[in-house]
Amino acid sequence: MRIAIAAASAILLAGSAHAAEISAQSKVDAVTVFPSGAEVIRVGKVKLEKGEHVIVFSDVPAQAAPNSIRVEGRSTGKFEIGSVDTRHLFVPRTDEAAAASERRRIEDELDTLRDARAMLDGQVLAAETQKTLIANLAQLPVRPAPPQVAAGSPPEDWARILALIGSGTSEAIRASQDAQVRMRDLDHKIEDLEKKLASIAPAREERTEVKVYVSAADALEADVSVRYQVPNASWIALYDARLATGTKDAPPKLDLTRRASISQNTGESWDDVTVVLSTTRPTAGAAAPELFPMTVDYVPEPKPVPVGRMDEQRTRNMAADRKAGGGFGAGDQDGMAAESAPMAASVPAPAPIVQDAIQRGALAVAAPFQALFAVPGRLTVPNTGEAKRVQLSEDSMEPQIAVRTVPKDDAKAYLYAKLVLPKGSPILPGTVALFRDGTFVGNGLLPVLSPGEEHELGFGIDDSVRVRHAIVEDKRGQTGLISSSKTDTRNYRITVKNLHQRPISLTLYDQIPASQNQDIKVERTGLAPTKENIDDKRGVLVWESKLDPEEEKIFEFGYRVSWPAAKAIEYGR
């Protein structure tokens, strides 16, 4: 029985060892982009004969996380996927053929330029030779006549010779200078081409090789997909909020457009792919952190060491150092001599411990839900890190228009639109571009919002609401005869007028001091606010009201602070 099993195992191993390797080309077909990272699906088509095969994909990027690689397949017949092996390897760049053609073109152009430069070298050499000959010819008039010249020979025409010397010299200099200028231009072109040739030298890039061991019952065609996760990809949410404030007869309207900005630098280009945006954070951890017991105790006091035992302890420490360092050196002996000497000098302070700097990281806020956004159509996202912006959806809603004012700090009214998110996908944190009646008024921020949740967006100053802030009373005094105390009384008058053609809701913010001591008493006076201590901020007051067209309202309030006369107070934030 064992012999039969061993024989069957040997046959299977032999079949695997001799399985035909099929090199497959794949293309990115679909991508799911996370706030940090992405999951990519590559699809390749292969034709298989009956038997065992090894399908090899060499176009998976090196950044692919090995533990995330998964292989799936669909075929026209029975098709089984066995094991999947991965490794990193270096392969020629995919544009190697185009680069080789470009290199040949540059090399040919360099040869032409170098030949032209060699010809110019020859022209310069000829011009210099001509200049030398002309210089020798210029010496003839000062030289004695040769003795063999017969009597009665015609005299030399020195005028013609001098004219020839002048014209020849000018021509030689001009030819040399012209050749040198052209050589300089050729040198610049040759240098630029040599740099360009070096930049497109044959290169290899790192890739992940995926080997898929498969078995086909019959000859078939199969679509094999490789799924993996890569870093260096992300998407962020962007929004446009366009508010139409409305008229006397038309209600206000708010259009909220949801956009996404996608970027990636994963080592591969996403060309004509299906893109899904997900709020999942695969690398953010799967489980909550675990807490361990935290204790509190007194700081232990150092135990005093008897003077007689200090030398023994020092000797033990030196023996341990000697055992670790392999014996005494010259420095050790000097150290022992110093130890045996009287402790006249002060003991030097220990050297400071050098530590690595701790980098402060950015705060990551995880959303309490997950959502998927399928981008319509197919996209191309280049492998350059540049942002690709797409529109996801657009919602129209009828907001509640209101104004908010804080006249103590700024005597202006600011327009707000309160909206209720429609049902559907949630709102993720992101920048929102604000438009009021077609005019861009600034940027805001949207937090994490769930469907059905209310939120207010500010749309800038509303010039149709007038706000005035005045101090009516500001005085200090002292009360009491036996146990006197000091007082500080202040009263304010705030006037708000609505110049709109329709009623408008008003929210007015102000404050009174918040006492930090039980002996300091604060008493609010005047018009009672609608709400107090807003958002758990002590002393912050809110008056809510509604103003009809052309209506003006006056809000008067104040406070009185009293404290012991022997003390002094100060106002702070």
Instruction: For residue 550, give the 3-state DSSP assignment.
Output: coil
Which phi and psi angles does 283 have, rounded to 5°?
A: -95, 10
Residue 61 contacts residue 208 (beta carbons within 8 Å): yes
Which has the closest alpha carbon to 242: 392, 415, 421, 459?
459
Torsion angle, alpha carbons of 176, 179, 185, 188, to 10: -80
Could you give the C-alpha distances from 50 to 75, 78, 171, 212, 340, in angstroms and in order? 13, 10, 84, 16, 88
Give the H/E segment covering residue 10.
Answer: helix 2-17
CA 125, 131, 134, 136 dihedral sign is negative
Among all chains, which residue has been given the structure tokens 């690398």? Answer: 283
Lowest mean pLDDT among 347-351, 371-375, 376-380, 488-492: 347-351
Asked if pLDDT for residue 435 goes beyond 70, the answer is yes
Residue 387 DSSP code: -
Could you give the C-alpha distances from 542 to 279, 457, 506, 531, in angstroms and in order? 37, 18, 10, 5
Identify the band that residue 282 occupies on the pLDDT scale cut at 50, 70 and 90: confident
CA dist 375 and 379 (Å) reads 8
CA dist 554 and 527 (Å) reads 10
CA end-to-end span of the chain: 89
Q: Which string of DSSP letters, residue by residue, matches 103-144?
A: HHHHHHHHHHHHHHHHHHHHHHHHHHHHHHHHHHHTTGGGSP
Identify the band that residue 180 occupies on the pLDDT scale cut at 50, 70 and 90: confident
Lowest mean pLDDT among 226-230, 286-290, 338-342, 466-470: 338-342
Asked if pLDDT for residue 288 goes beyond 90, the answer is no
Could you give the C-alpha distances from 444 to 167, 236, 399, 441, 563, in angstroms and in order? 80, 15, 17, 10, 43
Looking at residues 378-389, what average pLDDT do you find? 91
552, amino acid identity: E
Identify the band that residue 124 occupies on the pLDDT scale cut at 50, 70 and 90: confident
Q: What's the full length of the chain, in residues?
A: 573
pLDDT top residue among 449 and 309: 449
Q: Which two tokens stand for residue 525?
A: 């006076």
Asked if pLDDT for residue 346 goes beyond 90, the answer is no
Helices (H) and strands (E) in the chain, counts: 5, 26
Digit-coded pLDDT (tens) for 248-258: 888 899 999 99
Can you give the pLDDT at residue 297? 74
pTM comes to 0.60
Identify the band that residue 303 occupies on the pLDDT scale cut at 50, 70 and 90: confident
Q: Round the average pLDDT of the chain to a whole number and report it.
A: 80
Identify the band that residue 146 occupies on the pLDDT scale cut at 50, 70 and 90: low
67, amino acid identity: N
Can you give the pLDDT at residue 423? 78
Q: Which two tokens stand for residue 4?
A: 């039969």
CA dist 36 and 265 (Å) reads 12
Lowest mean pLDDT among 24-28, 89-93, 178-182, 403-407: 89-93
pLDDT top residue among 33 and 369: 33
Can you give the pLDDT at residue 225? 94
Lowest mean pLDDT among 230-239, 345-354, 477-486, 530-539: 345-354
Q: Which two tokens stand for residue 542?
A: 């809110």
Residue 375 DSSP code: P
Which residues touch 437 (CB under 8 Å, ≥6 apart)?
A: 243, 244, 245
Which has the closest alpha carbon to 427: 453, 412, 449?
449
Among all chains, which residue has been given the structure tokens 């012991």? Answer: 564
Asked if pLDDT for residue 222 goes beyond 80, the answer is yes
Lowest mean pLDDT among 91-105, 384-398, 402-416: 91-105
Looking at residues 529-550, what average pLDDT do you find? 93
Can you give the pLDDT at residue 558? 95
Can you give the pLDDT at residue 13? 42
Digit-coded pLDDT (tens) for 549-573: 999 999 999 999 999 988 888 888 7
Looking at residues 487-511, what average pLDDT do you find? 94
Neighbours of 467 (CB within 10 A): 19
Asked if pLDDT for residue 471 goes beyond 90, the answer is yes
Can you give the pLDDT at residue 330? 40
